[in-house]
Chain A
Amino acid sequence: MSSSTSLFSPRRALIIAQSTVTQLVRMKIFYFLAPVALLFLGLQFFDAVWFEGPEALMPEQELRMHKNICLGTMMLFTSLFAIVATALLIPGDIEDRTLYTILCKPVPRLDYLLGKLFGVIAVLFVAMLVMDVLLVTTLHFRTEEKLLQTTEYMTKIGYPEREIAAGRAEMAAHGPTMILQFGVLSHFLKACVIAAVALLISTFSTSTLFTIATSVMIWIIGSFQSIARDGLFNDATFGEAPSWADKIVGTLISLIFPDFQLFESISDAAARAEDVLYSDMGHLFGLSAVYVGIYVVLSWFVFSDKEF
């Protein structure tokens, strides 16, 4: 046992990640998927009355609403899950003094932090996968049903075959497509960034409640900061030039808090079945990696000198 211990060991981080997954699974954290499943299934039986009659020629609006609700639910649950799960882990280990016994083994503190984060991300991935399967399945049946209804309706009122085919193609684009998966992926990446934020806060926080409250606040600021920045920097918005103080505040906010605008815009595009470029997804991956990397390095910086 006298071999030297490296600064970071993927194997040790993996052991802690596995333990974190076991911990979260045995905390019955996946129970939260039950109401999500019920909501997704319930949407199958919900027909928006304002799309009946002649407006039934636009059933893609109904599919869009289905996707909007499902993606919004997935975003809400994964973001909250990322915050709560991460906030429970490190302060919990400190309060229970479980951390003493772990750090008294040859475990670098970076391994511990990364292990906890990887564990939460692994559980997030599984939860997202389950919700994605539910979304794709329910949306598939819903799309098939609408395609059938629309074809029947258009045939009945005498639309030519070519227009019926075009209508079907347009509607199929609102079904379970690759673009929809980009939307799901954007929420997963956003949840990973939020988990990294919660990890940073939990390294200096003294309680789980503080970690949760602060992380939720950062999540909200991150979701709306681009709108605020537009207000501060864009002259056209309020009709007057921003002051230096406004610019400084805006820059500070953009440096301190993550900007979730890109994540949201890809999700919105997926719900509207608009094209999402692979380069946009590459940009999103890069941005997520940078955010997670920065928050992990900051967490390590705080945690490496923390005394217990």
Chain B
Amino acid sequence: MSEAAAVDVKNLVKDFKGPFRGKKVQAVRDVSLSIAPGEVYGLIGPNGSGKSTTMKAVLGLVAPTSGSCAIFGKNSTKVDSRGEVGFLPENPYFYKHLTAAETVRFYGRLCGMRGRALRDRIEEMLELVGLQDARDRRLKGFSKGMLQRIGLAQALVQDPRLVVLDEPTAGVDPTGSREIRDLILTLKERGITVFLCSHLLEQVQEICDRVGIIHGGVLVNEGRLDDLIALEDRTELILENASADLMEQIRTLVEVTYGADLVSEGRARTTLESLFLKETQRQESGKGRLVRSRKVVKRVLK
């Protein structure tokens, strides 16, 4: 028997009633998507496009007007389905009167954990999100990034098979953002399914296997990321330590021998985020080590 999809949304429609019997608003229109176990799926779309409503329907926080949502084959509207899910909402708030360790403990206990297993898991989670030093600090003094990290710890406390993340890096600095991204990749390596919504398209591109684009409540495009963003008639080559002579030969081969067009040629660029991380990490480590310069030639061949 084949394994049930981690998330299975079928013909989801969600209407919200207007105030005082006003006109109803259709937030999601006939959305269907399926996420296989172990996949990282990104749902992207502008504000008000229906991303959060779809996510909430998957989590059972809103009931579908029609259609259905299931998690590992279990109906999302049933409490049973949530044993396998960890959820990190956008800009999460937790009980400010609890410490970091107490917060993870509270959510762990809600998932039925107890005793030594829970105590060990709390330490493991705090270490994973880098909050061991703040374990006994109350959350009311936490920064946005720290709240995001404790949110991840509570989402992962019961070792769920599916993690749902709503704007996981919102308000987090680039270093924290990178850590969260690395954490998602670690989850992926461990076979955990990730369903995320994000406005940061660069990040989605970097970590997602498949992407759905939602607009006006309609899933307008969906598929494997590589398939969606590939330009059929273009090929990219990135060379390292290429000599001027080699470059000349390639130019000749492309344009003279095969009659193709060399669209662009120049130094490959890193991203501003990578540069920022590299510089800040260099300053923090105090090693002052020079970044090794690489001569990379990037060519886009047509």
Contacts and interface: CB of A to CB of B under 8 A. Distances in A.
Contacts of A1: 83-84, 111-112, 158-160
A278 interface: no
A173 to B, nearest CB: 45
A102 B88 CA distance: 11
Contacts of A305: 63
Interface string B55-94: 0100111110000000000000001101111111101111
Given A106-B111, A307-B61, A308-B56, A97 B93 contact: yes
A103 B61 contact: yes
A106 B83 contact: yes
Contact of A19 (B87, B89, B95, B159): B95
B110 interface: yes
A100 B112 contact: no
B36 interface: no
Interface in A17-71: 19, 22-23, 26-27
Contacts of B155: 101
Contacts of A15: 106, 109-110
A4 interface: yes
B111 A105 contact: yes
Given A98-B93, A100-B87, A305-B63, A106 B110 contact: yes
Contacts of B278: none
B45 interface: no
B302 interface: no
Among A105, A108, A308, the one with the most B-chain Cβ atoms within 10 Å of its Cβ is: A105
Contacts, number: 89
Interface size class of B (residues with CB under 8 A): 35 or more
Interface string B147-189: 0000100110011100010000000000000000000000000
B83 A2 contact: yes
A107 interface: yes
Nearest to A103: B61
A56 B79 CA distance: 67
Contacts of B97: 22-23, 26-27
A303 to B, nearest CB: 13
A12 interface: yes
Interface residues of A, number: 28
A290 B266 CA distance: 80
A4 B155 CA distance: 19
B97 to A, nearest CB: 4
A101 B151 contact: yes
Contact of A102 (B80, B91, B102, B110): B110
Contacts of A279: none
A4 B60 CA distance: 16
A106 B80 contact: yes
A19 B106 contact: yes
A96 interface: yes
A252 interface: no
Interface in B209-246: none
B123 to A, nearest CB: 19
A5 interface: yes
A3 interface: yes
A103 B111 CA distance: 11
B82 A98 contact: no
Contacts of A27: 97
A307 B60 CA distance: 9
Interface string B38-55: 000000000000000000
Contacts of B107: 101-102, 105
A100 B107 CA distance: 12
B79 A106 contact: yes
B83 A104 contact: no
A5 B80 contact: yes
B182 to A, nearest CB: 23
Contacts of A105: 82, 107, 110-111, 158
Nearest to B78: A5
B79 A108 contact: yes
A12 B112 CA distance: 8
B98 interface: yes
Nearest to B151: A101
A97 B89 contact: yes
A104 B82 contact: yes
B98 A22 contact: yes
- Centre residue among B59, B93, B110 by max chain A CB count within 10 A: B110
Contacts of B83: 1-3, 5, 106
Nearest to B72: A2
A104 B79 contact: no
Residue of B63, B107, B160 contacting most chain A CB atoms (<10 Å): B107
A255 B109 CA distance: 39
A277 to B, nearest CB: 44
Contact of A101 (B80, B84, B89, B159): B89
Given A19-B98, A23-B97, A101-B88, 17 more contacts: A1-B158, A3-B112, A5-B83, A15-B109, A22-B98, A22-B102, A97-B91, A100-B87, A101-B87, A102-B107, A104-B87, A104-B164, A105-B110, A106-B83, A106-B112, A108-B79, A308-B61
18 contacts: A1-B83, A3-B83, A5-B82, A12-B110, A15-B106, A19-B95, A22-B102, A26-B97, A97-B93, A98-B94, A101-B89, A101-B94, A101-B107, A102-B107, A105-B111, A106-B79, A106-B82, A107-B79
Interface of B: 56, 59-63, 79-80, 82-89, 91-95, 97-98, 102, 106-107, 109-112, 151, 154-155, 158-160, 164
